[in-house]
């Protein structure tokens, strides 16, 4: 009897402690819970160039477009800023002829059930921005620049060779939206003990989006670091997944931190969507050691601004501990149940121990 009583007490205590810990952990861990649902990718450009002013750039990006007999375009997406020139090298990797035909309408997606005749007719009536034909193994160069009126548009490129578009041969040139208002500028410093200070960049006053965020990042130590900003709102990176993540979600900023104190590198991005965006250092081991922070756009940072670095780790630790203790409690309760002691033993019998 005594052992069953101890078991029941253990179960009760564990459940109480577990629930208490979860009560502490859950409110803190909300951003983590939101992490699973990654939103649509935002920002640009994805070729290592920062836009000059509010999402425009007079730079040139080189893009190699492979055309295959699948039939398909690789890549199937090109992200540019207004006034950025795309220098395209289009390579036909296949044995069939294909075209690269770029629509001039940034708000129209061609229906894939359109007939080849109607597709030709469409481009006769709406002259494409680029239209080149590639015979087997041929390589063709083409340049195009998207002007200010194209901001925010998605321009489809297709092959008009009959039934290639219909079979999935298309992609999109996406032009970033222009930021509203002046850019907001922040700074952060990398330290030798592997932190960003400050680790919270508070752009909660950015309520009119898109907004251009500028970050100057320097070094108060001597180690090499990067400043690498996630493009996905509400997503918590982890040391084990960030490499894979960034291979499919190009960072908004990904630049080395200067190693000489007092000098800064500047990165910028136009943020389209309210929320938090994580930045990390991608030097092996640094993120795991605490080298991360968050940019909050149009939303209030958590109240723990003084100790932002530990919030996610502590809250998830508390949550894990809470779940573990609760689990022990439940196991003990189940054991107690099968020992015939649940529901609670009437109080009167307590006196007999």
Residue numbers of the site for Cu ion (CB under 5 A)?
225, 281, 283, 286, 291
Closest approach of Cu ion to the CB of residue 289, in Å: 8
Closest approach of Cu ion to the CB of residue 159, in Å: 45
Nearer Cβ to Cu ion (14/189): 189
Cα distance between residue 258 and residue 249, in whole Å: 24
Nearer Cβ to Cu ion (205/289): 289
Closest approach of Cu ion to the CB of residue 268, in Å: 20
73, two tokens: 């375009």
Phi first, then psi: give them for residue 111, nearest 5 degrees.
-75, 135
Nearer Cβ to Cu ion (65/283): 283
Tell me what percent of the chain is helix, strand and coil, each rounded to the nearest 5: 25, 30, 45
Q: Which of 315, 305, 239, 256 is nearest to 276 (CA)?
A: 305
Closest approach of Cu ion to the CB of residue 260, in Å: 15
Nearer Cβ to Cu ion (142/288): 288
205, two tokens: 């006053």
Closest approach of Cu ion to the CB of residue 257, in Å: 7
Q: Is the dihedral of CA 261, 254, 146, 138 positive or negative?
A: positive
Tally Cβ neighbours within 10 Å of residue 276: 23
Nearer Cβ to Cu ion (85/224): 224
Closest approach of Cu ion to the CB of residue 222, in Å: 11
Closest approach of Cu ion to the CB of residue 109, in Å: 42
Closest approach of Cu ion to the CB of residue 165, in Å: 46
Closest approach of Cu ion to the CB of residue 280, in Å: 8
Strands 154-158 and 170-175: antiparallel
- DSSP annotation string for 296-342: EESSPPPS-TTSHHHHHHHHHHHHHHHHHHHHHHHHHHHHHHHTT--
Nearer Cβ to Cu ion (172/217): 217
Nearer Cβ to Cu ion (8/225): 225
Cα distance between residue 167 and residue 72, in whole Å: 9
Tally Cβ neighbours within 10 Å of residue 126: 11
52, two tokens: 């000059």
What stretches of the chain adopt beta strand conformation (E)?
60-68, 72-74, 77-80, 85-92, 98-102, 130-134, 139-145, 154-158, 170-175, 184-190, 196-197, 200-203, 211-219, 225-229, 253-257, 265-271, 275-280, 292-297
Nearer Cβ to Cu ion (173/291): 291
Nearer Cβ to Cu ion (292/296): 292
Q: Which of 180, 27, 172 is nearest to 102 (CA)?
A: 172
């Amino acid at each position: 009897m005594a052992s069953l009583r101890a078991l029941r007490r253990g179960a009760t205590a564990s459940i109480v402690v577990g629930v208490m810990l979860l009560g502490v952990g859950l409110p803190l861990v909300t951003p983590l819970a939101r992490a699973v649902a990654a939103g649509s990718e935002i920002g640009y450009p994805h070729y290592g160039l920062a836009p000059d002013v509010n999402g425009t750039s007079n730079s040139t990006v080189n893009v190699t477009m492979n055309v295959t007999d699948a039939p398909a375009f690789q890549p199937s997406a090109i992200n540019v800023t207004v006034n950025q020139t795309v220098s395209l090298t289009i390579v036909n990797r296949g044995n069939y002829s294909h075209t690269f035909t770029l629509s001039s309408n940034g708000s129209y997606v061609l229906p894939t059930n359109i007939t080849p005749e109607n597709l030709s007719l469409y481009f006769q009536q709406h002259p494409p921005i680029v239209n080149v034909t590639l015979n087997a193994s041929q390589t063709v160069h083409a340049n195009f620049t998207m002007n200010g009126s194209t901001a925010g548009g998605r321009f489809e490129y297709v092959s008009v060779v009959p039934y290639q578009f219909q079979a999935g041969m298309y992609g999109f040139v996406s032009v970033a939206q222009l930021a509203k208002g002046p850019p907001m500028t922040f700074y952060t410093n990398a330290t030798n003990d592997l932190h960003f200070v400050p680790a919270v960049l508070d752009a909660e006053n950015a309520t009119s989006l898109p907004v251009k965020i500028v970050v100057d990042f320097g070094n108060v130590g001597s180690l090499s670091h990067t400043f690498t900003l996630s493009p996905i709102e509400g997503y918590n990176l982890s040391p084990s997944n960030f490499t894979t993540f960034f291979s499919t979600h190009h960072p908004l900023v990904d630049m080395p931190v200067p190693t000489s104190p007092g000098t800064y590198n500047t990165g910028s991005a136009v943020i389209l969507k309210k929320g938090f965006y994580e930045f990390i250092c991608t030097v092996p081991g640094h993120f795991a050691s605490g080298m991360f922070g968050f940019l909050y756009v149009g939303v209030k940072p958590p109240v723990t601004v003084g100790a932002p670095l530990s919030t996610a780790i502590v809250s998830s630790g508390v949550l894990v501990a809470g779940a573990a203790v609760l689990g022990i409690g439940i196991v003990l309760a189940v054991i107690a149940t099968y020992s015939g002691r649940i529901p609670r033993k009437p109080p009167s019998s307590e006196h007999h121990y």
